Structures are given as structure tokens and as C-alpha cells.
Structure 1
Amino acid sequence: MSDSAENNWLNIVRKAEKSCIIENGMRKVHYKFPRGEEMVEEYNMETDVINRRLWKNVNKFGGEETWEAEIGEPEKTSKGFDVTGIKESSSNPFIVRRSTKNILEWRIRNLTYPLSTYSVTACPEQKSIVVRTSNKKFFKVLKIPELERLGLLPEQNMIDYTHKFNTLIISYQKPPQLIALEAEVMKELKKIKTTEKGNLPCNPS
């Protein structure tokens, strides 16, 4: 990875219009980017670990705008549907992304096959992780936006996976460059003037 790749995302964060509130032990940051994109992040105040990252989908045809979860649970509506339109009680496999200090994680729920059925492979050509089953019942390409922002390709030796409670849990060890970048981003976020729980927005950075 070049320094320019790391600095590029950091500069994007710095230049974005940002506001922040502190609520229920979470730092909630709302970003507005120059090209119209919006992003919301939630961080645990005790650990500085991200709990959720949502991107707003800009509908160019005048339809209803929705939020897509990059990390954390999808946005729910009052009717019990998430932003993808998949009902919560669906028995189809669905993916939830998580992040810790050192790990990127995917939890693919409603997969009942034993661990030996799965193949989880780094695919540098697609800048992704490919999941498939030997019975050909499931196939999924998992994008890794955190690595793409750094210009890094996935490596097989960074992947681990296990299966329990009908969930395939895939872990990817964060490279040092990503850990360092996240620390720099958090420094920027802590500079934002925040307000405690309530509806008043923070002063944009």
C-alpha cells in the first residue's frame, strides 16, 4: 500500500461535513461528502470500535432513498423489513458485517451445512473473499471496502472461519495499515464538537 492510498481516505474524512452526538455510550457521526453521498457511523465510546456504518443510497430516478449497512445490522423499518427488503424472519442466508480492534468479520446466518462443506478463498483478482459450498447450494462474493480504500488485496493467510448455530463466521485479520488508519480517523472524529443525547446536531467540522 502506498501512503497516498491511506492519506486519500483520511483526507476524504477530514474534508467531509461532519456532525456528532453522544448517545447511550455511542459516538454517532453523520458525514456529508462533496458529491452528495452520506454516511453514518456509530462507535463504542469505551473501546472506539465501530459498531455500525451505513451508506445512503442516492436514487437518481426520484425514488425513495435507502440506507445500506456496510457494518452492523441493516436499517429496519416499522414493518419489520430491512433496507434490502428482506424480511427479518426470512430463512434465506443473510450477511451481517462486524468489526473489532483487530478483526473484520462476516456472519452468514441460516447456513445449516457442516464446516467441512465450506470453502472460503481470498480472490485478489476480484478484491474480495469468495464463499462456496461443495454441495453447490451457496455461493457469495464478499467485498472488503476497508481494504479497497487502502489499495490492499485480500490474502489467504489472513482468513479464518468457523461454523456454529447455523452461522458461518468468517474472520479476516486487519493488516497494520488498516489499524493505523482507523486510529487516525478516530483522532479526527474526537476533534468534532459533540453534544449529549438529544436532537440538536453538532457544529459541522
Structure 2
Amino acid sequence: MSRKIAIKLFGGENPERVLAKRIKLFILLGIVFIAISKLLYLRGLVPFPNFELIIVTLVVIGSFSLYTGGNKFWRGVTRYFGIIALVSVFLIDIGFWGLRKIYIFTWSGFIICWLLGMRNKLSMFDKFKKLLWRTTITAAIAILVFDIYTASGWALVSGTGLAAVFLAQIPFTLYHFCSLIFIPPLVWLGKTMVKVKVPTQVAVPVGGRVRAGERIR
């Protein structure tokens, strides 16, 4: 069973279809990471406040131009990934705490982070260092924008002074920046999943031949 699954995901068809399958899997993993991150955070199973995978995942996957084949459904999933992925966050938040005014700012703040990532339009075939640098900078900006935006929202809904809220937010933003540690493995995962073997024609001398299993040097 595991062998059949591996063949479906990593080989057995033309390279274009294999690539599309792997990118679909990458997108699905992103949705799972976001949901699990929210659950762990609400359960208190994180080392410190604001240590999460949601923003970095939205930025990394949003930064890539993703090819999922000609299927209209998957084109829609790719185009609206941020909204689809955040549905789990909405449901989990409501399930744990009910509907709260601050969610207007946190949920829309996550959408803003995803849109910031989409501005990059990076190719997953670019060099790892370039992808890492661009996504890390974008994620750092997204975290800062998110924290300022949600802090302003909290001041508005709670009636607390804006200066006091921003002052109290500083340590939480510093903790939040620690989430950038997840950027390298996410970018590495994306790069790894697009490594597809492509058959190429090899020139062989007249009268020569290549035996099965022999490598051309």
C-alpha cells in the first residue's frame, strides 16, 4: 500500500503530472500545518506566546507561483489558498472561544499577511538562498504589520489607550519573530517536492548502446 502511494506521489507518470501532484500535496500540508498550529497554540502547547506557524506558512506558500495542472478546482485552491487555509482557524477560534470582536482584526490580519506573500511571485525553481531571503524578509514584515494592526484593533474594541497597548505588545512581537525559525524547513520542503526527474534524450555514438542500469557520463 505504501509503495503504491509513493509511486503515485513521486513517480509513475509524466513529469508534469508528478510535479502537479507534489505541489497539491505541498498546499494540503500547508493547510494542515496552519490548523495544527492553531490547535497547539490554544492548548498552550507552545514554548512561549505568539510562537506559531500560521503567518510563516501563509507567506511561504503565498510567495510561490504554484502549478497544479489544468484542474479548475486546484487552480481555485491555489488562488484562494489563504482564505481556504484560514477557514480552519475561524472554526477553531469560534469552537474554543465563541465569536469575539477582536477576531475581525486577527482574521483579516492573517489575510493581509497572505496577500503580502503573494506579492513576491517567486518560482520554486529559484535558488534556495534567494527563496529563503525573500520569504524571511516578507514574513518578518508580515508579522510586524499583523501585530501593529491587531494591537490597534485591541485598543479599539477594549477602549485601552493606544500607547499602552503598543508598549505591552513589544515583548509579544519579539516572541512572534521567533516564528521565523520555521521559514527554512518550509522553503526546503517546497524545494524538495519540486525535484522531479525529467527524461532526456542522450546522444549515443553510432553502433554504441547503453545497457540497462548504466549511467551516461
TM-score (norm 2): 0.28
Query: Which structure is higher in RCO with an 8 Å CA cutoff and minimum separation 6?
Result: 2
TM-score (norm 1): 0.30
Tell which structure's C-alpha radius of gyration is larger.
2
